[in-house]
Amino acid sequence: MSRSNPSPVERRTLFSWHSERLLPYWLLAPAVVVTVVIVFMPMAQAVFTSFYDLILFRPNASKFVGFGNYVKLFNDPVFWTALWNTIIWIGLTVPLQMGLGLVAALLLNREFPWRGLARALIIIPWALPSVVIALMWRWIYDPNTGVLNDILIYLSIVQSAVPWLADPKVAIYAIIATLTWQGFPFFAVMILAGLQGIPRSQYEAASIDGASTWRQFVHITLPGIAPVLATAGLLRVIWVANSMDVIFVMTGGGPGYATHTLPLYAFVKARQNLDFGYGTAIAVTFTILLGAFVVLYLSRTMREVER
């Protein structure tokens, strides 16, 4: 009886081997399973679909075309227009959001009455649903009834109403302005948290040494919030790149192809024209392009974790 049972010491090592080696995996398992089922499986299926000529309302005419969709894609002028728009979209939106966020954070970090209220209010653009923001700005920009043109005409900045969203040269910048407004609170809050982590004593020491406000900003503040800027910036590149809801509601990608970005083009092809083969080929190509940023982000967070 007593021989068949392991001694308390034996049992403890056996059990602790189980718990210490396997416990993390057990704890991770639910998240991994969910991610595999709802992220990786559809991703694999998207790659698979992109090798087919699959139009949803002709399910029986579906056939394997190998890299056919990709060849078509690289010869498609709309793809290149959309790629260029995507570069402008990310290249302007993220730095503008970051710049505005930095200014807002520096202001909010100062002492002034009602600071708590100001900090709470600044979150509002970030907290509103994208579709609400898009509809709101669509009316703000409206040349016939919108408030922006009214103000500009009243101040004699322009002579007649500017068709912000109907002019292909201006439309994408108008939407970028909207998205900048929507996204800067994210940076403001992240940077504010970073600012508060910088010890006061460093500023005191610098001012005793006679450093100007600008030099304090360059040599203490910026290095202090650099890790936050890098992580938040990378994260935001990925989010902004993928976000198409605001564009879709404001212009639907128009006029013409002037505000088509790659995710929007993929959506229009797959969901509106029901051309799933071609639509997923666009999405897969874009994922590969964005992959570089994802790798950068992952390697950064890995380093942070190991630190």
Partner 1 sequence: MKFLKTLALGAAFAVSAAFGQARAETVRFWYHFDNPANPMSDLVKKFETANPGIKVEAENVPWNSYYDNLYTALVGGNAPDAAMVKLFAQPRLAEMGALEPIGKQLDAWKGKADLLDNLLDLNKGPDGKQYYLPIQYVVLYLYYRTDLFQAAGLQPPKTCEDFRNAAIRLTNAPQTYGFGLRGGKGGWDQWGAFVLSQGAELKPGGLTRPEAIAANQWLVDLFQKDKVIPPSAPNDGFQEIVAAFKSGKTAMTIHHIGSSKDLVAALGDKVSAVPVPKCGNGQWTSYGDESLAIFSSSSVKDAAWKWISFLAEGQNNVAFNGATGQLTVTKSGSADWKLHERRFVEATVQSLPFARVLPQTSAVSEFVNTAWQTNMQQALTGQITPKQMMEQLQTLFAQ
Stretch that binds partner 1, among 16-24, 40-48, 51-59, 85-93 (CB under 8 A): 51-59
Which SS3 state, helix, strand or coil, does residue 163 take?
coil
Q: Are 123 and 182 in contact (CB under 8 A)?
A: no
Residues 301-305: contacts with CB within 8 Å, 24+ apart? 301/231, 304/227, 304/231
Tell me the helices (H) and strands (E) count for the chain, helix number first: 16, 2
For position 63 contacting partner 1 by CB under 8 A, the verdict is no
Residue 152 binds to partner 1 (criterion: CB under 8 A):
no
Whole-number Å distance between alpha carbons of 267 and 257: 14
Q: In Å, how far from its chain's centre is CA 2?
A: 62
Residue 280 is a binding residue for partner 1 (CB under 8 A): no
d(CA 32, CA 40): 10
DSSP H helices in 36-67: 41-49
Interface of this chain with partner 1, residues 203 to 242, rule: CB under 8 A: none
Residue 264 near partner 1 by CB under 8 A: no
Asked if 7 touches partner 1 (CB under 8 A), the answer is no
Is the CB of 189 or the CB of 247 nearer to partner 1? 247
- Which structure tokens are listed for 216? 């304090």
**Residue 273 is a binding residue for partner 1 (CB under 8 A):** yes
Q: What angle do CA 292, 35, 186 make, to 5 degrees?
A: 60
CB of 144 to partner 1, least distance (A): 4
Nearer to partner 1 (CB atom), residue 7 or residue 160: 160
Among 255, 289, 293, 296, contact with partner 1 (rule: CB under 8 A): 255
Considering the complex, state which of residue 89 and residue 187 has its C-beta at the smaller distance from partner 1: 89
- State yes or no: residue 166 binds partner 1 (CB under 8 A): yes
Among 90, 98, 225, 268, binds partner 1 (CB under 8 A): 268
Write out the two tokens for 1.
């009886």
Our finding on whether 168 is near partner 1 (CB under 8 A) is yes
Task: Using CB under 8 A, list all residues that contact partner 1.
Answer: 56-59, 142-145, 159-161, 163, 165-168, 171, 251-258, 268, 271-274
